[in-house]
Each structure stands twice: as structure tokens, then as C-alpha cells.
Amino acid sequence: MSNINQINPLYQEFIPSPLNYIGGKYRLLKQIFPFFPKDINTALDLFCGGASVGINIEAKNIILNDSLVELTRLYQTLQSQDLETTFNVICKIINTFKLSNSAKYGYEFYGCNSQKGLSSYNKKQFLKLREQYNKEKYIFHFFVLIVFAFNNQIRFNSKGEFNLPCGKRDFNTNMQEKLKRFIINLQSKNIEISNKDFRKIDLDVLDSKSFVYIDPPYFLATAPYNENNAWELQDELDLLEFLEMLDCKSIKFALSNVIYHKGKEHKVLKNWLKNKSQFKTHFLNFHYKNCNYQTKRNLSKEVLIVNF
């Protein structure tokens, strides 16, 4: 493991999330940040997910909100725990379950290579860890599962059980660096972790110098976060009403969404925008070509909608 007290100066300007959230906006930060307000008192990342936006935003106060309890519980733990303690706990879990440690031993030690990955070695141990987490819900087991899971993603079944299969990667040096930078910024900035449905957000804590970034589950998408119909038409309509409430209170917002996805048009959003001449729609230069729920023949068109 690399020195946890040092940050590699060669790493990119923005802080990457240690979670590979489908639809995460890390690769879009250079495009969307210029559209954000320059002087923000309180920034609310309403559907923070992997927190790529919230952890990088410049504001006096930052609120990372998500309705997924395990996600916000993980962030609260990473925020409150000493950095060295966190790394020690993670490494202890990896050793206890006899999972791979390519950062120390490389791939050949496990009879694997970087192209095929480490799943053939880790699969049996991973399933044991997954079973124990689903029984006990220990939050560090949750994080290690994400590290070793397919594409470092998060997915729960209808029973609330983590159900992704084993992936190709492990707690390699790149993941260690991501986690280190993420924790340092989570602890050094004035960040509050919140676990609320967006309809329960208290708008009285926001004012005209506040900013709300909104990256909801995409209504047209079929990503893992929406496999159990977690985001339906009524949710989309409620969110649009929420945006109108923000605008009425002179609270600045930016909404990420797609106008087209897999050959479908987001008619609900387009019809809503017809009567909202005060809002601006910025088309972004990004397509979900590489996501596992997307194909090259049916590209999505990403937009950022702002009310300022």
C-alpha cells in the first residue's frame, strides 16, 4: 500500500470518486462547472451518488444527499474515521477473506493477468464476503464489496441484498489513491452528509446564494440503480415540481439529464421545458458509449438545464 499521508502530485486536478457510479459526472466536470455560480454559500448535491460533483464543488458549505442509506452511511463513516484506521480496516478485511492484493503481489502471484483480471481467483472469497455483509451490514464490508464487485458498482435486489458478481479489479494502487484523496477532501471541507428523499428536503435552509445540483436517476435509463423501478414517472413529475419550487424561491439549480436515450425522446422533460423560457439548456459533448447499459448505435444526448 502506498504512503497514505502523501498525495501523488501527478493525479488529475479533480478529485475522483472511489465509487464507479453509473452516470457519474466525473468526465463532465470540465464542461459543467463553468455553468455553475461563482459565489456559493451552500451547495446541495441532491442525488450525490458517487459524489463526483459534490466533492469537487467550490462552496462555503456542501451537502451530499442521497436516498440510498448504505451510501450515505459509508460517507459518514469515511468522514468520521481516521484515514489510517480506515485503510487498516480495509486491508484486514481483504486479508481475512483471502482476497487478492495486486498492489503488493501483482497478478501473476494469483495465476491471473491484467487483461482477464482477478475474478477467477476472488470469486469464491467474494461470495463469502457478500453473504456476510448481507447478514450483518457492516459498512466496511460494503466498501470492500464495491472494490471487488463488477465494475466497482453498487446494486441491491428487491430484498435489499447486495447482488453484484465479483469483478476483475481489487484494492489496487489506483483505487487506494482515489480513496485517499476522497477521504482527505471529505474531512477537510465543510461537508454535511444527508439521507433524504428529495421531496423531504427543507428548502428553508437554502437562499438566493445557494446552489442545488440535480443528477437524478434518468427516467429513460435502465442502469443498475433503476432496475427495481426505483424511479418512475411520478418521481420525474415530482422532481420537475421541485425545480419550480427552487426557482420560485430564487434558488439557483442545475439539472443533468438526457433528452434522447436509446432511440427514445424524453417527452416529459421536453414538454415541461416548452413553458420555461427562463431556463437555459446546454447540450454537452458527451455520450454514454462505454456504459454497460448503452450501445454505440443508440447514443444518449446529455444536457445541463439551469435557471440562471
For residue 144 the three cell numbers come to 470492500
Which of 192, 102, 80 has its CA nearest to residue 147?
102
Q: Is 206 exposed, middle or buried (0-12, 13-18, 19+ CB in 10 A)?
A: buried
Q: Given this model, what pLDDT does residue 142 score?
A: 98
Give the pLDDT of residue 104. 96
Maximum CA extent, the chain: 62
Here the cell at position 28 is: 463532465
- What grid cell was written down for 23? 452516470
* pTM for this prediction: 0.89
In contact, 193 and 72? CB cutoff 8 Å: yes
Q: What is the pLDDT of residue 229?
A: 59
CA torsion through residues 181, 187, 190, 195, sign: positive
For 260, the grid coordinates are 434522447
DSSP structure class, residue 16: P
Who contacts 215 (Cβ-Cβ below 8 Å, separation ≥6)? 23, 25, 45, 46, 47, 49, 53, 255, 256
The confidence score (pLDDT) of residue 11 equals 40
Structure letter (DSSP) for residue 74: H
**Please, what are the domains in the chain?**
26-67+196-306 (3.40.50.150), 73-179 (1.10.1020.10)
What local confidence, expressed as pLDDT, does residue 12 receive? Answer: 54
H or E stretch covering 254: strand 252-261
Q: From residue 272, how far is each of 45, 112, 161, 195, 251 by CA, in Å? A: 22, 52, 36, 28, 19
Tell which residue, 171, 183, 177, 178, has the closest CA to residue 94.
Answer: 171
Q: Kindly give the parts of the chain with pLDDT less than 70.
A: 1-12, 221-229, 286-300
Residues 6+ apart with CB under 8 A from 94: 100, 101, 144, 170, 171
How many whole angstroms separate alpha carbon 307 and alpha carbon 244?
10
**pLDDT the model gives residue 222:** 53
Residue type, 137: K
Closest CA to 272 of 300, 303, 230: 303
